[in-house]
Amino acid sequence: MTNDCYYDSFDKKENLHFDSKVVHGGLGCDPITGAVSFPIFQTATFRHRTFDVSTGYNYSRLQNPTRQELERTMAILEEGTEAFAFTSGQAANMCIFGLLKKGDHVILSDDIYGGTYRICSDIFSALDCEFTYLDMSDPDQLEAAIRPSTKMLFVETPTNPMMKTADISKLSQIAKKHGVLLVVDNTFLSPYFQKPITQGADIVVHSGTKYLCGHNDVIAGIVVVTTQELADHFRLQMKSRGNGLAPFDSWLVLRGLKTLSLRMERHDRNGKKVVEWLKKHPKVKKLYYAGLGGMISFEVDSVETVHRLLSDVKMILFAESLGGAETLITYPLTQTHESTPPDVREKLGINERFVRISIGIEDPEDIIADLEQAMK
């Protein structure tokens, strides 16, 4: 690409450790002024000095330096070749499914984010695309489900909200054998805990709204790719759909990323403590936890306990979403998984006694004390 002359001075920081990479990003500081906080290029368009001289930037729908800094940073963190920052995780997913042609078949994790399910069932099935939902922890079942028309494998690991995990390397072997694209939604673990591309994934997608930004103050989506062909697809999608992340929102995610390692470490430590406490609680009947990170789901003894829990939490907030500094409690039945068909929900275990918690970075004793008083 010739469109990134601002990045001519991009000096490779490959030798840095991950915790330093999140702080220093792509360019890190502004190469022109030295501003340590990467500038917010709040501009729609870019001046051309003469007929044939361009800075490499034309129009912010196509390319913007602040968005590019975020994209570079994400490509570095996920170890891909290029990244694209979209206006939401859903916008990113729409562009991924935009790879499909009429009649293509996709295999997805059975317990997948409700919005991803909705994209398949309400939008792409109308284009004669077909979707199969599978438990990805069973590679044999997966291999049997692949058809000549299978184009893509779309995986969440751990899954949302049942926290089932899959072996990305194994899935990648199967995908490669059949010439199928492997897409991994890495929202729940972030590249701090899991780098799917290093295990063979072709595309990584994130709701940047969650752990990457980490502050519950922006909606964003990220796609990281591994080939020029895929990069060209997403560049065309962004240019045509006009869904590139705005400069200020890009800056907010960049700012959030600087503390990704610190936050993930704390989410994980807090998550483990809350899991230990939940394990011993008499009203907790089932517990779902991937063994790391800050996402926990559980089933309680009765609907009354759920209602009390959701109404009586004080510090913990009853709200949809995850991955931020604040501990949030979510009711998947009516919130995140409202679009999932009732029979699928029932089969997965998403019932009226089921809740999901995104453990924040507060003092774990306060999180536990709040749950305790609300579950009395």
Ligand X SMILES: *Cc1c(COP(=O)(O)O)cnc(C)c1O
Binding site for ligand X (CB under 6 A): 88-90, 113, 115-116, 156, 160, 185, 187, 207, 209-210, 219, 221
User: In the complex with ligand X, which residue's Cβ is closer, 27 or 182?
Assistant: 182
The question of whether 117 is a catalytic residue gets the answer no
User: In the complex with ligand X, which residue's Cβ is closer, 156 or 299?
Assistant: 156
User: In the complex with ligand X, which residue's Cβ is closer, 113 or 234?
Assistant: 113
* Minimum gap (Å) between residue 133 Cβ and ligand X: 15
User: In the complex with ligand X, which residue's Cβ is closer, 6 or 113?
Assistant: 113
Encoding tokens for residue 46? 């870019």
* Minimum gap (Å) between residue 47 Cβ and ligand X: 33
The question of whether 61 is a catalytic residue gets the answer yes
* Minimum gap (Å) between residue 40 Cβ and ligand X: 20
Q: Which residue's CB atom is positioned nearest to ligand X?
A: 89
* Minimum gap (Å) between residue 210 Cβ and ligand X: 6
Catalytic, out of 4, 7, 13, 61? 61
Neighbouring-strand partners of residue 296: 289, 357
User: In the complex with ligand X, which residue's Cβ is closer, 187 or 216?
Assistant: 187
CA nearest neighbour of 306 among 340, 369, 237, 356:
356
Alpha carbon distances (Å) from 349 to 124, 158, 309, 310, 340: 26, 16, 19, 19, 12
User: In the complex with ligand X, which residue's Cβ is closer, 90 or 150?
Assistant: 90
* In contact, 205 and 112? CB cutoff 8 Å: no
Catalytic, out of 185, 249, 268, 370? 185
* In contact, 89 and 207? CB cutoff 8 Å: yes
DSSP sequence for 243-289: -BPPHHHHHHHHHHHTTHHHHHHHHHHHHHHHHHHHHT-TTEEEEEE
Catalytic, out of 210, 272, 345, 353? 210
The question of whether 6 is a catalytic residue gets the answer no
* Minimum gap (Å) between residue 206 Cβ and ligand X: 8
DSSP sequence for 157-205: SS-TTT-----HHHHHHHHHHTT-EEEEE-TTTHHHH--GGGGT-SEEE
* In contact, 367 and 271? CB cutoff 8 Å: no
DSSP sequence for 43-103: -SB---SBTTB--S--BTTT--HHHHHHHHHHHHHHT-SEEEEESSHHHHHHHHHTT--TT
* Minimum gap (Å) between residue 262 Cβ and ligand X: 21
Residues with a known catalytic role: 61, 113, 185, 210
